[in-house]
Amino acid sequence: MASNSSVIRASAPKLENVDELIDSVETFLFDCDGVIWKGDKLIDGVPETLDMLRSKGKRLVFVTNNSTKSRKQYGKKFETLGLSVGEEEIFASSFAAAAYLKSINFPKDKKVYVIGEDGILKELELAGFQYFGGPADGEKKIELKPGFLMEHDENVGAVVVGFDRYFNYYKVQYGTLCIRENPGCLFIATNRDAVTHLTDAQEWAGGGSMVGALCGSTQREPLVVGKPSTFMMDYLANEFGISKSQICMVGDRLDTDILFGQNGGCKTLLVLSGVTTLDMLQSPKNSIQPDFYTNQISDLLPIKAAAV
Ligand SMILES: [Mg+2]
């Protein structure tokens, strides 16, 4: 018998009763980096685990805060790694930004200014919105002559900010002008992740750093569409008609994945195959406890479960 989750614990229990968890869940949401792959390397046992869950009729959804790729581009990454995952099973924060604008009926005659990479542009294009900015503004410079004034498009009704390796002062000023001077202009963040893993050698400043720059200049807080905000969860629950109590969020980060699952009222499973170690989970400084933790998702496979 699994323990009662209403019991307050110092630290989350290790997942023991795998079958009980699988039987109680209809949809598994997986974070990608640190759960499915690490950088460009598939984590051991992932294909078998996904196959097993599918054979039991579970719906699988892949949720990532990375906005640099579109759903289609992510699909390619899965394919390269030998995983067959449909575009409609992938929820990247680039897609979430476009889906959010659709959900509020953002006017098609208004424009979106993008601080971010190709993934956001591609999703806005697919959704039929007018947009500009992105990588194209990466080379732009400001020439501060006396009296210089930057013009901006008064038809911009939303500024979407995501991770942007071509971030510069031009983009900050342009986005700031739109948000501050265009009445009702929305400020949307794909995510506020502090760090990201551009290479496996160190942690790199994440999307939160670009968003933070605009918060500083506009003195406004963005609407966040990625984890841990529940927008994607609500969207999924609506789209597929799933009850949130039958969703299990599986991730390697406490402050995004596990918090996202908890904010959405789902079950949560932390895997130790990514950035969080057992010490970090059990540290008295950590206040975010998943329902369960396990080493990696292949622990859901029956053979491994029996061997524990
Ligand atoms: Mg991750």
pLDDT tens string 178-210: 999 999 999 999 999 998 878 778 889 999 999
Mean pLDDT in residue range 234-254: 93
- When comparing pLDDT for 240 and 117, which is higher? 117
Which of 32-41, 148-157, 233-242 has maximum average pLDDT?
148-157
What residue numbers does the annotated binding site for Mg(2+) cover? 31, 33, 252
Q: Which of 224, 257, 280 is the endpoint of a domain?
A: 224
Same domain for 197 and 139?
Answer: yes
Is 299 labeled as catalytic in the residue annotation?
Answer: no
Residue 90 included in any domain: no
Whether residue 98 is contained in a domain is answered as no
The confidence score (pLDDT) of residue 131 equals: 98
The 3-state DSSP class for residue 79 equals: helix
CA of 285 to the centre of ligand 1 (A): 20
How high is the mean pLDDT of the chain?
92
Which CATH number goes with the domain that contains 36? 3.40.50.1000
Q: Is residue 75 pLDDT above 50, yes or no? A: yes
Q: Which of 19, 31, 118, 193 is catalytic?
A: 31
* Residues 289, 11 contacting (CB under 8 angstroms): yes
Band the pLDDT of 304: cuts 50, 70, 90: very low
CA of 197 to the centre of ligand 1 (A): 9
Both 236 and 186 in one domain: the answer is: no
Domain hosting residue 24, numbered range: 18-65+228-307
The model's confidence at residue 295, banded by pLDDT at 50, 70 and 90, is very high
122 lies in some domain: yes
| Residue 59, both tokens | 């719906």
pLDDT band at 9 (very low <50, low <70, confident <90, very high): low
What average pLDDT does this structure show over 211-239? 95
Q: Are the C-beta atoms of 249 and 264 separated by less than 8 Å? A: yes
Give yes or no for residue 8 having a pLDDT over 70: no
Residue 128 falls inside a structural domain: yes
Q: Are residues 162 and 268 in the same domain?
A: no
Are both 210 and 168 inside the same structural domain?
yes
Task: Judge if 219 and 245 occupy the same domain.
Answer: no
Q: For the chain, what is the domain count?
A: 2
Judging by DSSP bridges, how do beta strands 59-64 and 90-92 pair with one another?
parallel
Ligand 1 centroid to Cα of residue 250, in Å, is 9
Do 116 and 181 belong together in one domain? yes
Task: Give the SS3 label for residue 60.
Answer: strand
Alpha helices in 107-160 (DSSP H): 118-126
- The reply to whether 73 falls in a domain is no
- What pTM did the predictor assign? 0.89
The β-bridge partners of 270 are 251, 293
Residues 218 and 140 in one domain: yes
* Residues of the binding site for substrate: 227
Residues 129 and 172 in one domain: yes
Q: What is the mean pLDDT of residues 124-144?
A: 95
Question: Which residue in 19, 23, 33, 257 is the catalytic one?
Answer: 33
Look at residue 132 and tell me whether its pLDDT is greater than 80.
yes
Residues 264 and 157 in one domain: no
- Measure 115 CA to ligand 1 centroid, in angstroms: 23
- Domain assignment present for residue 189? The answer is yes
Question: In the chain, pLDDT over 70 holds for what percent of residues?
Answer: 95
pLDDT tens string 144-178: 889 999 999 999 999 999 999 999 999 999 999 99
CA distances from 13 to 8, 16, 235, 257 (A): 11, 8, 30, 17
Alpha carbon of 35 to ligand 1 centroid (Å): 6
Which residues, including other chains, have CB under 8 Å from residue 124's CB and lie 6 or more apart?
97, 98, 101, 112, 114, 131, 160
pLDDT over 90, % of the chain: 85
| pLDDT confidence of residue 203 | 85
33 belongs to the catalytic site: yes
Write the DSSP symbol of residue 177. Answer: H
Instruction: Give 276's Cβ-side CA count (13 Å radius).
Output: 27
Are the beta carbons of 221 and 98 closer than 8 angstroms?
A: no
Q: How far is the CA of 38 from the centre of ligand 1 (A)?
A: 9
pLDDT category of residue 6 using cuts at 50, 70 and 90: very low
State the binding site. Answer: 31, 33, 227, 252
Name the phi and psi angles at 42, rounded to 5.
-65, 140
